[in-house]
Amino acid sequence: MRATSAVTIGVGATAAVVVGALVQSAGSGMDGTGLGAELTMAVPTEYRSLVEEAGKTCPEVSPNLLAALLTQESGFNPKAASPVGAQGIAQFMPSTWEKHGIDGNGDGKRDVWDPEDAIPSSGKYLCTLADDVKDVPGNKQNNMLAAYNAGSGAVQKYGGVPPYKETQNYVQSISALANKPKGGGKTASSSQAVTAVNAAEAQLGAPYSWGGGNANGPSKGICCSPNGSDGASIAGFDCSGLVLYAYAKAGIHLPRTAAQQYAASEPVRPGQMRPGDLVFYGSSTTVIHHVGIYVGGGWIINAPRPGTNVRYDPMDTMPDLIAVARPVPSKEI
């Protein structure tokens, strides 16, 4: 089935609900400073001045970087609460808030649920972390962001961004968001998207291989998946390997992992989706575990998991659809 006929597949009611509920409002300098120095990101009007002011707390923090962090942490939801206990628009843990929260609006209270306190506190806390890891080699802002996610101790222990997948994806995603040019980058054209869909469809039936797939096509993978699956003896694709290959055929280089591919793309609102857009799954945009290529009608083509082949699946094939995005050819990752 080609891209032009894929849109005739019926869309399931659940997929329509998932897509309808999807909420998506939407490197750094050589010396590790100046990342996203101008506030070009979309920020809710009521928080814009707070972000601009708090984003100037120290040289390592900028308004754009702070806006990217708040986008990733809560989507600017002041009532956000995570399953592990993080609270408010900046997702402070209670112990961290107790130590680093400030009375930003001078009303005599330090309220983690009040953006007028939480946003200035976030800027101040980032600067505290930047000072904690100032002697660690590498990019200063990457180390600061890693410390925000994993703690200063981990950054100091590993001499830079620690080898935690979540933390690496966190740093990657926020840096990419903060560095997006004003008005967003030029995304993949319709013809490039069709080429990518056609390339993926040509691989229908190819076996799943953990770590498999590159710009040239199917390849042997690596050991081992979180469930212990070894792709080293299987020539095929994992989910992001299929995406990498499909868009390479369209002349667009994408990074290897699903989370990095999200960071290299522009978010797409549900009503603006088109075949070729990438559909991401995970608990947040920094913890993405799967990606597929939208073919229309509520369906994706993807390499689902070990023991399966490249195939079509409905968009609600997994319950944690988190984002839809369109690759940006010029994005540097």
Told to judge if 201 belongs to the known catalytic residues of this protein, a careful annotator would answer no
Collapse the DSSP code of 328 into the 3-class scheme (helix H, G, I; strand E, B; otherwise coil) and give the result.
coil
Burial 65-75 (b: 16+ CB within 10 A, else e): bbbbbbbbbbb
SS (H, E, C) the chain: CCHHHHCCCCCCHHHHHHHHHCCCCCCCCCCCCCCCCCCCCCCCHHHHHHHHHHCCCCCCCCHHHHHHHHHHHHCCCCCCECCCCCECCCCECHHHHHHHCCCCCCCCCCCCCCHHHHHHHHHHHHHHHHHHCCCCCCCHHHHHHHHHHHCHHHHHHHCCCCCCHHHHHHHHHHHHHHCCCCCCCCCCCHHHHHHHHHHHHCCCCCEECCCCCECCECEECCECCCCCCECCCCEEECHHHHHHHHHHHCCCCCCCCHHHHHHCEEECCHHHCCCCCEEEEEEECCEEEEEEEEEECCEEEECCCCCCECEEEEHHHCCCEEEEEEECCCCCC
Set 60, 73, 201, 266: catalytic member = 73
Count CB neighbours of 5 within 10 A. 11
Collapse the DSSP code of 269 into the 3-class scheme (helix H, G, I; strand E, B; otherwise coil) and give the result.
coil
Question: Which amino acid, 103?
Answer: D
What positions carry a catalytic annotation?
73
